[in-house]
Amino acid sequence: MKVAIYPGSFDPITLGHLDIIRRAARCFDKVYVCVLYNCDKKTPMFSPEERLEMIRRSVAEIPNVEAELFSGLLADYAREKKASILVKGVRNATDFDLEYQMAAINRGICSELETVFLPASSAYQHFSSTMAREMIRYGQPLEKYVPQAVAEALKQKTE
Ligand code: PNS
């Protein structure tokens, strides 16, 4: 059984993330989407619980995908889940440079842990959670870029 982890901050999950999750779910028997802490992103817009809830609602229809929170080292979470694969979406050369280093670090921590890069679909190449947060701050409609669960959560927050 091939178990994969798709880790990230997901602040909030975007359609680009969801596209990677769907594709990973076709490649592996089980995919855990893991909301983790990124120490470079100190002021999240959504709490970890809100992010998890938006992900859970977005992946509800994909049978071999589960979403969880974890605070700690990604490699420890992978060990706990008996996962041998980390999935990372790559949009451009900047993502690749960072993820290439991260893959080496994670393999250094746990030698059995392989990172698999999935190239972002062209429709989502220019979009990120950072862009989503910027658009939210300026009240811009986001339906084209985020799952319905995020749009609904935002509506509830602003009502
Ligand atoms: O969506 P992001 O913010 O680019 O995801 C980055 C994330 C959360 C995957 C990364 O910061 C991470 O793995 N954090 C957990 C701590 C860890 O294991 N760091 C790498 C080895 S030191």
Ligand 1 binding pocket includes 104 (Cβ within 6 Å)? no
Q: For 96-116, what is each residue's pLDDT tens digit?
A: 999 999 999 999 999 999 999
Rounded to the nearest 5°, which phi and psi values hold at 85? -125, 135
Q: Which residues contact 103 (CB under 8 A, 6 or more apart)?
A: 86, 88, 115
* 158, pLDDT greater than 80: no
| Nearest C-alpha neighbor of 8 from the set 135, 131, 140, 99 | 99
Distances (CA, A) of 148 to 6, 8, 153: 20, 19, 9
Beta-strand runs (E) in the chain: 3-8, 30-35, 65-69, 85-90, 114-119
Segment 80-106 shows an average pLDDT of 97
Q: For 50-63, what is each residue's pLDDT tens digit?
A: 999 999 999 999 99
Ligand 1 binding pocket includes 60 (Cβ within 6 Å)? no
Euclidean distance between CA atoms 151 and 23, whole angstroms: 22
